[in-house]
Amino acid sequence: MGYKIASSKAGVNVGTATAPNDFNYSSDYNTLKYYTAGTIRVAGSAVFPNTNRYFGTITHGLGYYPFFSFFATDDSSATNFYPYGFVAVGAGGLTRTACARMGTNTMRFMYKITNASSGTISGTATFYYKIYRNNTNL
Amino acid sequence: MTQVIKVSKAGINVGTATDPNSFIFDSTLNTFKIVATGTVLGTISAGGLGNTGTVSTAHGLSFIPPVVGFIRTTSSAGTTILHPTAEEQISADHIFRSIWADGTNVNFEIRVASDISGTVFNCRYYAFEVPL
């Protein structure tokens, strides 16, 4: 017989419940374990009709590809938090893209501006990232 | 009297704290439980700019789960893993579209942005509880 720790939701019998959704916590199921979190800003600009990419990098040092998440905002609409980045198409063919990739020791963020409009367009993306200890084993 | 299990963060009084953010663990608060995880290999054949392929694997659950996934790929920029939501990732060779789950499978849609040879993608998904 295996032993476990479980905490059921209010009104649910912890001794008889079986569905994962009946528990606040059950040692039968893995959870995400925080490692580190932070913020990084990446600024850039593009002169018509160019596309430019700008990068920011943080070091996590885990030695493997960890589970990660992040939200990104475009400073032109700083109240909108987009999970795992965004592609924002603006007036006149202006496109801003925010995304990230993970390595075994670093995480790199990219902010791309495509100016299909005119003049010079500038902007800044802010990335709010969380890295977990969970190894993706990829 | 309801009994609970709580572990507070360093320097915080576990007996008096009320902010959920003060705890490492609180048995009264639901946790994000990983109910299934798996990997699948996918190959997108060469076919020129914009060639798209879908890679699928069965999740084995009786409901449609919320899913998060990552794809490992190797390009001229090195080997990295990426979450397939943004239109374009760092490498111009690979553009990821999306991940989604239905009642049977977890699906990854991948687009190859340049005319390159068949590329193998290693995909991992995590399925969480709370059916959609």
Q: Kindly report the backbone phi and psi dihedral angles of residue A48, in degrees, each rounded to the nearest multiple of 5, phi listed first.
A: -50, 135
Preferred mutation among B62, B80, B96 to probe A, highest tally of A CBs within 10 A: B80
Of B34, B124, B131, the CB nearest to A21: B131
Average pLDDT for B3-17: 91
A127 vs B84: which has the higher pLDDT: A127
Q: Which residues contact A38 (CB under 8 A, 6 or more apart)?
A: A58, A128, A129
Residue-level pLDDT at A90:
76
What's the rounded Cα separation, in Å, for the pair B109 and B95? 10
CA distances to A27, A36, A103, B43 from A107, rounded to whole Å, are 30, 12, 6, 25
Q: Indicate if the pLDDT at residue B77 is higher than 70.
A: no
- Check: CB of residue A98 under 8 Å from CB of residue A47: no
- For residues A130 and A37, the answer to whether their CB atoms sit within 8 Å is yes
Q: Which of A102, A5, A70, A3 shows the shortest CA–CA distance to B33?
A: A5
The candidate with the shortest Cα–Cα distance to B100, out of B81, B85, B119, B122, is: B85
pLDDT value for B37: 95
Q: How far is A62 from chain B (nearest CA, A)?
A: 14
- Is there a contact between A25 and B130 if contact means CB atoms under 8 Å apart? no
Q: Which of B24, B27, B122 is the best residue to mutate to test the A interface, defined by the most A CB atoms within 10 Å of its own CB?
A: B27
Q: Quote the pLDDT of residue A111.
A: 93
Residue A17, phi then psi, degrees to nearest 5:
-65, 145
What was the pLDDT predicted at A61? 97
Buried b (16+ CB within 10 A) or exposed e, A10-28: eeeeeeeeeebebbbbbee
When pLDDT is averaged across residues A70-88 and rounded to a whole number, the result is 81
pLDDT over threshold 60, residue A23: yes
CA dihedral A65, A69, A74, A77 (to 10 degrees): 180
Q: Per residue in A111-136, pLDDT tens? A: 999 998 889 989 999 999 999 999 99
The answer to whether the beta carbons of residues A109 and A98 sit under 8 Å apart is yes
Question: Would an 8 Å CB–CB cutoff place B81 in contact with chain A?
Answer: yes
pLDDT tens digits for B102-122? 999 999 887 776 655 556 778
User: What CA dihedral angle connects A63, A64, A65 and A71, to 10 degrees?
Assistant: -40
- Regarding an ipTM greater than 0.85, the answer is no
Nearest CB to B5; choose among A7, A23, A97: A7
pLDDT of residue B85: 58
- Span B42-71, pLDDT tens digits: 777 655 545 677 889 999 998 889 899 988
The stretch B12-38 carries a mean pLDDT of: 90
Do A29 and B30 lie within an 8 Å CB cutoff? no
Residue B58's pLDDT is: 96
Residue B132: other Cβ atoms inside 10 A: 9
Tokens of B58: 């069965």
